[in-house]
C-alpha cells in the first residue's frame, strides 16, 4: 500500500513553529533521550546539509554553514516544536580536519545510525551536479546492511538546467534500485531557490505524525 500524499500545509506549519538548537554531541552517552521521532541529515562534505536545514526551518543561521569541508564535527540536534528532532551529522569524504578526528566522528556517526531506536529516516544528501559517487555508494551499502531506511535528497538543483535535473533525477532513481534500505522517493532541492523545500517539509511532517503514534 502506497503512503498517502504528504500535506504541504501541515509541513509548512510544523517548520514555521519553534525550532531550537538542543545540543552538539561528540559521544553516544550524551545523546538526548529517544523520546521523539528523529530524522538525520548526512552527505559528503560541503554538500549543503546546513543550508538545507536552514531552508527547511526558514532560518538563516540555525545550522552553521561554511565553505570549508568538515566544519560540522558533532551530531547537532535541533528540537522542532517538540514533535521532531532534526540531526545535522558531520559529512563524510574529504574534510579539512586531522585524520584521527575524521575517523573518530565517522565511528560516532555509524554507531549512532545503527543503534538509535527513534531514528525514523536518514536524509542522504547528494550534490545534483555530481550525482552518486563512490563514497555515497559505500555509505548506502552500510545503511543497507544496518537496515536503516534512507531517502536521497539531491541538493543545489539551481545549478543545473531543467534537462540536466531530469537526467540526474532518473540516474539517481536507477542507482537506488539495488539498495534495499532506500526509500522509493527522492527529492530535488535548492536551498537557495526553495525548490522542493515545501514537499520535503510535508514528507517529514508525515513521518513525525506517523512515528509519534508509535513512540
Q: What does the pLDDT profile of the chain (215 residues) look like in tens digits?
A: 456 667 999 999 999 999 999 999 989 999 999 999 999 999 998 899 989 999 999 987 676 543 444 445 789 999 999 999 999 998 886 556 667 776 777 888 989 999 999 999 999 999 999 999 999 999 999 999 999 999 999 999 999 999 999 999 999 999 999 999 999 999 999 999 999 999 999 999 999 998 876 65
Phi-psi region of 70 (alpha: psi -120 to 50; beta: other; left: phi over 0): left
pTM of the model: 0.89
pLDDT number for residue 96? 62
pLDDT number for residue 4? 62
Place of cell 500524499: 5
Q: Is 106 helix (H, G, I), strand (E, B) or coil?
A: helix
- Domains annotated for the chain, with CATH where assigned, are 8-212 (3.40.50.300)
Distance CA 98, CA 193 (A): 34
Which of 32, 48, 169, 27 has the alpha carbon at shortest distance from 104? 27
pLDDT number for residue 215? 54
Distance CA 126, CA 124 (A): 7
How crowded is residue 111: how many other Cβ atoms within 10 Å of its Cβ? 12
Please give the angle made by the CA atoms of 123, 143 and 2, to the nearest 5 degrees.
60
Phi-psi region of 197 (alpha: psi -120 to 50; beta: other; left: phi over 0): alpha
Amino acid at each position: 500500500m502506497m503512503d498517502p500524499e504528504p500535506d504541504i500545509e501541515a509541513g509548512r506549519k510544523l517548520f514555521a513553529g519553534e525550532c531550537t538548537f538542543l545540543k552538539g554531541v561528540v559521544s553516544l552517552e550524551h545523546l538526548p533521550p529517544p523520546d521523539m521521532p528523529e530524522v538525520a541529515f548526512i552527505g559528503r562534505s560541503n554538500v549543503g546539509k546546513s543550508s538545507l536545514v536552514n531552508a527547511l526551518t526558514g532560518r538563516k543561521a540555525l545550522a552553521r554553514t561554511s565553505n570549508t569541508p568538515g566544519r560540522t564535527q558533532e551530531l547537532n540536534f535541533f528540537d522542532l516544536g517538540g514533535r521532531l528532532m532534526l540531526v545535522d551529522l558531520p559529512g563524510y569524504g574529504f574534510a579539512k580536519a586531522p585524520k584521527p578526528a575524521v575517523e573518530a566522528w565517522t565511528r560516532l556517526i555509524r554507531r549512532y545510525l545503527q543503534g538509535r531506536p527513534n531514528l525514523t529516516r536518514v536524509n542522504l544528501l547528494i550534490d545534483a551536479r555530481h550525482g552518486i559517487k563512490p563514497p555515497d555508494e559505500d555509505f548506502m551499502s552500510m545503511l543497507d546492511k544496518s537496515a536503516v531506511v534512507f531517502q536521497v535528497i539531491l541538493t543545489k538543483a539551481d545549478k543545473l538546467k531543467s534537462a540536466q535535473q531530469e537526467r540526474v533525477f532518473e540516474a539517481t532513481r536507477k542507482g537506488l534500485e539495488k539498495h534495499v534500505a532506500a526509500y522509493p522517493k527522492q527529492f530535488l532541492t535548492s536551498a537557495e531557490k526553495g525548490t522542493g523545500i515545501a514537499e520535503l517539509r510535508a514528507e517529514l511532517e508525515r513521518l513525525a505524525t506517523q512515528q509519534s503514534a508509535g513512540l
